[in-house]
Amino acid sequence: MRFLLHVATTVFLCIHMQVWGSPEEDRAVFLSTFSVNIPGVPVSQYIHGSMMLSEDALSQYNSIMDFPPFQGVIDSGQKIWVTPFKNGRTFADCFENRGINIAGKFPFYNEELKRVITFEMALNSCLEQNGERLMAYTDPETMGALSAYARSLSDGMLMDIEVVSKQATGKYELGKSLYFRRIGQYNLACASCHLTNGGRYFRDELLSPAIGQAVHFPVFRGGERLYTLQMRYQRCMEAVGAVPFESGSEALNNLEYFHSYLSNGLPLQSAVYRR
Ligand code: HEC
């Protein structure tokens, strides 16, 4: 908390700019901000977030990823993925291409349901269609583990979020406005840290740029605590003294839609180590 208090009082007195444009124009604004904050660093490195400028952090990351301490969780997710439902079908039957190389299309806007569908919602909707019990979005042992394994089937796929129709753009804009809204007792927006100051050091920590964040979830913080992307959003909301929206809520789904679009073109990698 002391960290945040200092961030709030020292770095963010400047007012950030709200971007108003098409999704591609928005992405361009983020990219040009980061090219100033972290000159000479290729966008492909942004996927490493706060580790990108530290050789030590990256080599620690690589050695942890050689033998991930959280492998058991991914294995348990695999078990959930392959174990047949009572009707004999499995998760793979619910997805295009049996779930391989598809996660980079999520979230997407579903024109019939008129809402944004996240990957985790699609997993739950598969359970529902097959008469099985739904999983809680914040349960690391069920949804978390399943998501970690199911997303790993798309490792290497490039993020490919589409915002096409007017209705889809509406949801994207709602997500964007939440990203720029100042919240909590520290009165900070996501954009205050991960746009305006993304790629800048605060003390010994680099604030990760928004681009590249969405491609590598869930993460295992400290090598053991699983966070889905929306659980990570919730931690940042709490950190600024705001009451977080629920995982799976429309507000966080729209936020994830906007936020994931920013990472278009970057390769997915599920289940990674984070500090
Ligand atoms: C006070 C500054 C601050 C604010 C405001 C803030 N965050 Fe963060 N966020 C951090 C810090 C510090 C970390 C951990 C270091 C890093 O990865 O940037 C982090 C990490 C993250 C990560 C994980 C990055 C990774 O690679 O593991 C995501 C995703 C994220 N924030 C999204 C958000 C969203 C969405 C919001 C708005 C709801 C938000 N943050 C608001 C400071 C902030």
Residue pointed to by tokens 């359970």: 127
Q: For residue 193, give Cα distances in angstroms to 52, 101, 111, 196, 206.
A: 16, 31, 33, 6, 10
* Gap from CA of 192 to ligand 1 centroid (Å): 10
Q: pLDDT tens across 74-91, in order? A: 999 999 999 999 999 999
Q: Which two tokens stand for residue 265?
A: 């073109």
Average pLDDT over residues 193-200: 96
Asked whether the predicted pLDDT for residue 117 surpasses 90, the reply is yes
Average pLDDT over residues 163-176: 97
What is the chain's mean pLDDT, rounded?
93
pLDDT at 165: 96
- Buried b vs exposed e over 250-267: b needs ≥16 C-beta within 10 Å? eebbbbbbbbbbbbbebb
CA–CA separation, 51 and 81 (whole Å): 31
pTM of the shown model: 0.95
CA–CA separation, 148 and 183 (whole Å): 30
CA–CA separation, 5 and 117 (whole Å): 35
**What is the pLDDT confidence band of residue 202, given thresholds at 50, 70 and 90?**
confident
* Choice from 181, 186, 194 to test ligand 1 binding pocket (greatest atom count within 8 A of CB): 194
pLDDT at 14: 44
Q: Which residues line ligand 1 (CB under 6 A)?
A: 4, 7, 49-50, 188, 190, 192-194, 205, 207-208, 213, 219, 232-233, 236-237, 240, 259, 274
* Gap from CA of 83 to ligand 1 centroid (Å): 35
Q: pLDDT tens across 214-255, in order? A: 999 999 999 999 999 999 999 999 999 999 999 999 999 999
Biggest CA–CA distance in the chain, Å, is: 58
Q: What is the percent of the chain with per-residue pLDDT over 90, rounded to a whole number?
A: 90
Q: Which domains does the chain have, with CATH numbers?
A: 21-275 (1.10.760.10)
Instruction: Write the CB contacts of 20 (distance below 8 Å, at least 6 apart in sequence).
Output: none
**What is the pLDDT confidence band of residue 17, given thresholds at 50, 70 and 90?**
low
pLDDT at 253: 98
Q: What is the percent of the chain with per-residue pLDDT over 70, rounded to a whole number?
A: 93
